[in-house]
Structure 1
Amino acid sequence: MIISPNTAIQKPTVSQSRKIQLTSPILHIGSEVSRLNPFEYVQTGSRVYFPDREILAKALQQRGRLQNYIAAIENRDDITQLLEDSFGDSWWNTKTGNGEAIFPKITSSRKWTEQKITELRPMIRNGMGQLYIPGSSIKGAIRTAIAYYLLKHRDEYKVTPKVSEIEEKLREKLNQGDVSHSQKKKFLDDELFMDNLFTNFSLTYQDKKVPAKIGPNTDLMRAIEVTDSQPLLEDKTVNKRGKEVTLNLPVVAEVIVSSRFDNYTAKYRASIYTEMVRNVQTEFTLSLDTEMLSWFRHRQDMKIPFQTIDDLIKICSEFAQEQWDAEYDYWQNIKNNQNAQGKNLNFSDIRSFYELEKCPFTLRLGWGTGMNGTTIDLLLEEELKAQIRDAAGIKAPQFEAPKSRRSVMSANGEIKYVPGWAKFKLC
């Protein structure tokens, strides 16, 4: 919908703006391409390289090997042998006559597995090839946290519909078979409650009223701005114990997808090879336009649950705690499996990770957060969550939803980490 000049609203000067330091043990934010073809990356025993394909093509053309490269692309073949034949055993150090690196170090990652990497999932990069966290990813997680908070505290903020009413409508959708359709599933939350929570507002600006649900103007999240993070550049620091630690370390790790058997013994489902960042430390800016916030009036008198940036951090932290408690319960019940299709599913380190009663993180971001982190599922009845999963995802009758989890293997081949947990610290 195109907003006419008479309807468009100019944003005023931001009232609150804070820099926030974001730290995370390990995370992955997906790129536009969910999986890379074999010719789009090259692996050695210790690193994974992502070539500048335009520069690579020119260099191969100069060596008369361009047609071989084109054939590899058409066949989706690995290009390692072609690179060795064209540039020698140390092909990753090759530069053009102009000094341009064909395999820039900034776009390479440590290889944390001895296995041959297949169907690699890359991390998002900016136009300079640098890893970063998009502001849209952070803002989307904040939006989910606000929705969860409003529905959990519905009486305090005069929220409609009730969670029980949402559950009733969901059951109707399930009975009609609507949830199984991908497009309807995508917009199901918006139809049932998200639109009412975030866009069912009218605005009053300079004595002009803008009715509810007129384009993006009436979306409450317009009052919140989140910048992209600073690039995740590899760096060194010394921790409190005097040990040198590498920050923002890009790695390609084996991610274990596991579930459980009826007796709660861990069950191996698959391995996924994913580019991730270990020991994340970066900054972004969170802004709240309190003047704009004052324009919003909900048509059903729902109260806005935040007025300051501190309020937003509190809302995110409460949602993180709910997820943390659910993950603790899940992992405490899972039993190790020493021989699961050749995998040693030992989750002792994961259980230790969740031992703290108070969640030390503010939000969970990106890949691996699952249903509990991207929806309000933790407010729904267990049976209904399982029905939604069975209708819209992979069926697992008689099991809780979500049934599976993703955990990350260290360079030593031990199941060590869970992705996505992030801590915010106001600078």
Structure 2
Amino acid sequence: MSEIKIETLTPVHIGSGRMLIKNNDFCVTKDSEDYDVVAVTDPNKVLSLIGIEHIDNWVRAIERGNPINEIINTYAPKGTKVEDYARIIDYFGGERVTETLKEFIHDGLGRPYIPGSSIKGAIRTAVMATEADKKDKTELNIIVKGLKEKKLSDDIFGEDTNNEKRDVFRFLIISDATFGELNTIAFNMVNINERTKQSYWDTSKPQLIEALAKEDETTFNIKLDLERYEKSKGHVHEMPECMRSLPDLFKTINSHTAKLLRSEIEYWEERKNDDDSDKVEVYISNCRKILNETTICEQNGKSCILRLGHGCGWRFITGAWSERSDEFYYVKEKARPNNNKYQDYDFPKSRRVSEDCDLLGFVRLIMKD
């Protein structure tokens, strides 16, 4: 088992599956030090403050849409701090507060964490895209035209059935990465949206999210169980060469991230003059900063840059391997059913970013000595 340090280069969001409702599950207020915060209601704490005799008043206040801080101020003793009835998230969303908040996932002790499955899924995508690039163009065209991503995955890693477990990715074992030193933050996600009649900077559909702040860090564990793999040979699929050691795996992840960043920069360089905002320039600059981090990782050989979680965009989620195919238009048609108005645009045409134009989901993984 290898201990790995993980650092957030940009904000990271891994969803809990809960969409919190304003003035019911959360409100924006001031903490005891007069900073703007999102207060996520803790029902047990609220009940202990207002007393069971005021439950009906609480329910009626919720139905009226009264913020939880108003309820506390009405029914709890004066001087109660927001920390006494809510979980606190540092707020950077400005005056416009959306009606919902996408909550970050927390463990049973209330600590934010990145599940090992999220890290493993992002690594699998990087390996799969790398191996797909080695495929003959004709073979790749057949896979893409048939929209047979599972076939490609089975070809690379092996197919699990009811009777056989042949997928070699099970030999990569990854623990959760639990954070806790810093509070999470809340901010609005907006779009860089390629349009002909308006600016590319699209704030018309903001989404408030909770995320890990950039420059947070923790450790987790990775085990590449090559001994067990060797014992299983003949019963499992052949492992890709890039998975035969942790340094090789990190190199593959880093090269994959760098390749997509270079492609992203090239794409928007061709379009920046068509936009009347400066945001595309900022986006390109932020991409270059992260690309520079991949260069540093390549030089030291012990680290890599990985992108994961919400807001990654279609190209990073899928690995963008299908773009190399002559039949890529089948993917675009599948992704845009009955949306003929988008046919003149490349796919994908928009990118999710923060209001500061931060890209989400970039982390650095470092092998510890």
Query: What's the TM-score once normalised by structure 2's chain length?
Result: 0.82
Q: How does 1:227-376 map to 2 (within 5 A)?
A: 227-234=175-182, 249-262=183-196, 265-268=199-202, 269-278=204-213, 279-294=215-230, 295-297=232-234, 303-332=240-269, 333-334=271-272, 335-338=274-277, 346-355=279-288, 358=292, 360=294, 362-376=305-319
Which range is displaced more, 375-384 or 282-291? 375-384
Q: Which residue of 1 aligns with 2:359?
A: 418
Name the CA distance, whole Å, in 2 between partners of 1:20 and 1:355: 23
Q: Deviations over 1:110-151 (max 9, x none)?
A: 111222422111111111111111111101111111111111
SS at 2:41 equivalent = coil
Q: C-alpha offsets along residues 138-170 of structure 1, whole Å, 9 cap, x if unaligned?
A: 011111111111111236xxxx99321112212
Does the 8 A contact of 2:190 with 2:354 survive in 1? yes
Q: How far does the alpha carbon of each residue in 1:181-233 deviate from its partner, in whole angstroms, 9 at most, with x for none?
A: xxxxxxx633x322333333xxxxxxxxxxx6236732212101111113232
* Deviation (angstroms), 1:39: 1.1
Aligned counterparts of 2:252 and 2:165: Cα–Cα separation in 1? 23
* 1:301–1:109 Cα change, 3 Å: closer
**Which residue of 124, 127, 132 corresponds with 2:108?**
127
* Offset, 1:91: 4.0
Q: CA deviation at 1:24?
A: 2.2
In structure 2, relative to structure 1, the CA distance for the partners of 1:123 and 1:303 (3 Å cut) is closer
Structure 2 gaps of 5+ residues are 31-35, 295-303
Distance 2:341 2:112 in 1: 35
Match of 1:39 in 2: 24
Secondary structure of the structure 2 residue equivalent to 1:162: helix
Tell me if 1:110 matches 2:90.
Answer: yes
**Is 2:134 the partner of 1:153?**
yes
Matching residue of 1:61: 51
Q: Which of residues 4, 7, 14 is equivalent to 1:29?
A: 14
| Residue from 349, 352, 359 that aligns with 1:403 | 349
Q: Deviations over 1:383-415 (max 9, x none)?
A: 344223203999722111111111112xxxxx2
Paired residues, number: 344
1:168 is matched with which residue: 139, 145, 149? 145
- 1:89 Cα shift? 6.7
Give the Cα separation in 2 of the matches to 1:219 and 1:307.
15
Runs of 4+ in structure 1 off by over 6 angstroms are 298-302, 392-395
Amino acid in structure 2 at the alignment position of 1:312: L
Letter in 2 for 1:66: I
Verify the 8 A CA contact 1:254 1:273 in the aligned structure 2: yes
Q: Secondary structure at the match of 1:108?
A: strand
SS of match in other structure, 2:347: coil
Asked whether the 8 Å contact 2:46–2:72 carries over to 1, the reply is no
Instruction: Give the letter aligned to residue 318 of structure 2.
Output: T
Distance 1:301 1:17 in 2: 23
Q: Percent identity?
A: 20
Rounded to whole Å, the distance in 1 between the matches of 2:41 and 2:180 is 19
Specify whether residues 364 and 221 from structure 1 end up closer, same or farther in structure 2 by C-alpha distance, changes over 3 A only.
Answer: same
Residue equivalent to 1:84? 73
Deviation at 1:284, TM superposition (A): 1.2
Aligned pair in 2 of structure 1 residues 375, 416: CA closer, same or farther (>3 Å)?
closer
Whole-angstrom distance in 2 between the partners of 1:139 and 1:215: 24
Distance 1:21 1:276 in 2: 15
Q: C-alpha root-mean-square deviation of aligned residues, in Å?
A: 3.0
Work out whether 1:50 is the aligned partner of 2:65: no
Distance 2:338 2:89 in 1: 34
Q: Does residue 1:189 correspond to 2:169, yes or no?
A: no
Q: Sort the Cα spacing of 1:359 and 1:384 in 2 relative to 1 into closer, same or farther, 3 A.
A: farther
Q: 1:364 to 1:90 in 2, by over 3 A?
A: farther
Q: 1:385 to 1:326 in 2, by over 3 A?
A: farther
CA distance in 1, matches of 2:201, 2:102: 23
Q: Secondary structure at the match of 1:400?
A: coil
TM score, norm. by length of structure 1: 0.72
Determine whether 1:199 maps to 2:155.
Answer: no
For residues 392 and 363 of structure 1, what CA distance do their matches in structure 2 show?
Answer: 34
CA distance in 1, matches of 2:78, 2:138: 64
Distance 1:424 1:88 in 2: 47
SS of the equivalent of 2:146 reads: helix
Tell me the SS of whatever aligns to 1:262: coil
Distance 2:50 2:267 in 1: 52
State the distance in 2 between where 1:254 and 1:86 align: 32
State whether residues 257 and 407 of structure 1, in contact with CA within 8 Å, keep that contact through their aligned partners in structure 2. yes
User: Which of 115, 121, 128 is the aligned partner of 1:140?
Assistant: 121
Q: Which residue of 2 aligns with 1:204?
A: none
Please state if 1:17 is matched with 2:12.
Answer: no
1-side partners of 2:338 and 2:58: how far apart?
A: 40
Report if aligned partners of 2:6, 2:363 keep a CA contact under 8 Å in 1: no
Bigger helix share: 2
Tell me which of 320, 332, 349 is aligned to 1:377.
320
